[in-house]
Amino acid sequence: MNMPLIDPFARAISYLRVSVTDRCDFRCVYCMSENMTFLPKKELLTLEELDRLCSAFVRLGVKKLRITGGEPLVRRDIMTFFNAMGRHLDKGDLQELTITTNGSQLEKYAADLYAAGVRRVNISLDTLDEAKFAQITRWGRLPQVLRGIDAAQAAGLRVKINTVALQGFNEDELFTLTDWCADRDMDITFIEVMPMGDIGNEDRIGQFWSLRDLRARLAERSALTDLPDNSGGPARYVRVAATGQKIGFITPLSHNFCESCNRVRITCTGEIYTCLGQEGHSDLRGPLRASEADHDLEQAIRAAIARKPKGHDFDYSRQKVDGQVSRHMSHTGG
Ligand code: SAM
Ligand code: SF4
């Protein structure tokens, strides 16, 4: 029975984020340690398994699919997977296929992504300063990413920039970044840094820059109008009166967005996490590999959704990080 996926709190699950690899060509300081250990390749779902899994979710009512990682575009033959997912768009079963990427491979793949049916991409960029970019991503190079952004826009992809707000790092670039995006007709979303995974010696509390403060600084320059939420996700949006630009804020630590959460996440090893901020997860790779028919898989998906928690427990109050989860963002996908 293809009954839609509804969790115990009456939230319909219509949005799936899938991490297709834990590997990455960057080593962003808030995401990974420099000597990050990656999973053995045999642990990863094959592209065929990813197809079966995502297709099962589409059958069960998922309308929006976001591909993430690690860096999704470093996975070998990943375009085969995007092209395969395009069939669900063609049939109208899937409304949107999107990707979150660091942009390093977009010069190569932007046109192929468009051909596969992708229309919007999120590109992560924390600074427009070449030296700071190399510092924060460790292995990334800004000109390559800027060429990727050019290629994405030239291919017809709508670009949204994702920027992690980092105290003492990009506070001074707030207007440089927002103006640069406005000039290029790109939206921008700021993300509060989240306590995910062991990332070496970085001090997370030192990195945390409250988006309440960031928003107040934006508001000093131009009036901001709150936009109604329609994504079911953690982002809240405002319109800048002076330019018409849309600016988003993802504030899992200082606001609670859980009541409207419509999403679940799959790791590159086929674990389903029904809440980004909780450890609870279940395995879908076992049922996927146990049988070529999808019955067991669909049962396992339904059982996982039936255990989706009400909300997360992140808390940065009193200078102590509570509710910290041990897995890396690159494992679950951001
Ligand atoms: N590699 C791709 C990228 O960077 O866009 C996709 C995966 S990355 C894990 C997805 C998003 O998570 C990026 O925008 C990144 O900045 C963000 N991110 C990673 N670690 C984070 C953390 N600890 N707190 C908040 N955002 C984080
Ligand atoms: Fe790679 Fe994205 Fe993590 Fe940076 S944030 S290390 S680009 S997965």
pLDDT digits (tens, 9 = 90+) for 6-37: 888 888 899 999 999 999 999 999 999 989 99
> Measured between alpha carbons, how far is 24 from 39 in angstroms, rounded to an integer?
12
pLDDT of amino acid 318? 38
pLDDT, position 21: 98
**pLDDT (0 to 100) of residue 205:** 40
Q: Which letter, b or e, does each residue of 116-126 get, where b requires 16 or more Cβ atoms within 10 Å of its Cβ?
A: bbbeebbbbbb
Closest-lying ligand to the alpha carbon of 20?
Answer: 1
Kindly report the CA angle at 327 between 326 and 333, in degrees rounded to 5?
Answer: 145
* Amino acid at position 176, single letter: T
Task: Render pLDDT for 213-268 as a digit per residue (tens, 0 to 9).
Answer: 999 999 999 999 999 876 777 789 999 998 899 999 998 665 566 777 888 999 99
What pLDDT, on the 0 to 100 scale, is given for residue 256? 64
| CA–CA distance, 43 with 194 (Å, rounded to integer) | 26
Q: Which of 28, 29, 268 to mutate to test the pocket of ligand 2 (most atoms within 8 A of CB)?
A: 28
Question: 334 CB under 6 A from ligand 1?
Answer: yes
Q: Which of 116, 149, 124, 121 is nearest to 28 (CA)?
A: 124
Q: Can you give the pTM of this predicted structure?
A: 0.92
Confidence at 317, pLDDT banded by 50, 70, 90: very low
Alpha carbon of 291 to ligand 1 centroid (Å): 34
Check if 194 has its Cβ closer than 6 Å to any atom of ligand 1: yes
Distance CA 110, CA 151 (A): 6
Mean pLDDT of 92-102: 98
Q: Is 193 in the pocket of ligand 1 (CB under 6 A)?
A: yes
Residue-wise pLDDT tens digits, 159-198 = 999 999 999 999 999 999 999 999 999 999 999 987 665 6
Mean pLDDT over all residues of the chain? 89
Instruction: State the average pLDDT over residues 45-71.
Output: 97
pLDDT category of residue 3 using cuts at 50, 70 and 90: confident
What CATH class has 15-332? alpha beta
| Residue 19 CB less than 6 A away from ligand 1 | no
Q: Which pLDDT score, from 0 to 100, does residue 319 have?
A: 41
* Ligand 2 centre distance from Cα of residue 33 (Å): 11
Helices then strands (H, E): number in the chain?
11, 12
Would you call 129 helix, strand, or coil by DSSP? Answer: coil
Protein residue with its CA nearest to atom 11 in ligand 1? 334
Collect all residues with Cβ–Cβ distance below 8 Å to 272 and sequence separation of at least 6.
264, 265, 266, 281, 282, 283, 284, 301, 304
* Burial environment of residue 180 by CB neighbours within 10 A (0 to 12, 13 to 18, 19 or more): middle
Q: Could you state, in order of their start, the residue ranges of all structural domains in the chain?
A: 15-332
More confident residue, 318 or 237: 237
Atom of ligand 2 nearest to the CA of 31: 3
Query: Which CA distances in Å does 277 have to 256, 266, 316?
Result: 11, 14, 13
